[in-house]
Amino acid sequence: MKNILLRPDILRNESIIVIQFSYDKVLIACVKTIENSGWSQTLSTWYVKKKDFDLHRVFNTLYVCAE
């Protein structure tokens, strides 16, 4: 099982949910399939804007990839 951390943060004065994990090509490919996800060069992490965040959708997507 892979470790994935979801935590709140702020990016450009907007609330986001950070999706943090060690470098993994499979997880990166999965995160890219999450609607409205993006890479923050500033924070060096993947994120979804809080207003667009759906825990159920993110969990299901990452669960399949993390196994």
Give the 3-state secondary structure of 5-59: EEEEEEECCEEEEEEECCCCHHHHHHHHHCCCEEEECCCCEEEEEHHHCCHHHHH
pLDDT digits (tens, 9 = 90+) for 10-57: 999 999 999 999 999 999 999 999 999 999 999 999 999 999 999 999
The whole-model pTM stands at 0.90
The residue range of the domain holding 46 is 5-66
Identify the residue with better confidence: 63 or 38. 38
Q: Structural domain tally of the chain?
A: 1
With a cut of 90, say whether residue 65 has pLDDT above it.
no
